[in-house]
Amino acid sequence: MMNSQFPIEKAIINLITSYKNQITKKMRPLGLYPGQDMILLALLKHGQVSQNKLVVELCVDHSTIAKSVRRMVSSDLVQTEKSTEDKRVTLVSLTAHGRDLANQVETIWITSEHCATDGLSTEEQRLFIEMIEKITKNLNK
């Protein structure tokens, strides 16, 4: 199969690869494992949350979150405690070190957003997002 036969596929793959490569290159010096950046950003946004909320928000399975959280506790990025209301619920929050890294991650994501949209008007950005949402909806039918 030649990629020119499938221009939408090629454009999507190139976009994702380029964006992911830029983020990965900037994240590497922070020493984070894949996906930990998303957990840090969720905790920065919401403060203390349950592991179950992270599962739902990040669209990953519970074992993935549990493993990542354990690893992040060992790296002093997050701390966990049992909920006082329901001992079955594990609450996760940032440590001071985790908050520092989360702020760095947020800066990287903001910088990447600006880089990706450089030269695009607000209207072009809106149309791009609208088209991507339509394509995503079509693919999820």
User: Domains of the chain, with CATH numbers?
Assistant: 18-110 (1.10.10.10)
What is the residue-averaged pLDDT of the chain?
92
Per-residue pLDDT, 24: 87
CB-based contacts of 36, cutoff 8 Å, min separation 6: 68, 71, 72, 77
For the stretch 21-68, pLDDT in tens is 999 889 889 999 888 999 999 999 999 999 999 999 999 999 999 999
Name the residue among 50, 39, 48 with its Cα closest to residue 87: 50
Which residues share a beta bridge with 49? Answer: 92
Q: What is the pTM of this model?
A: 0.82
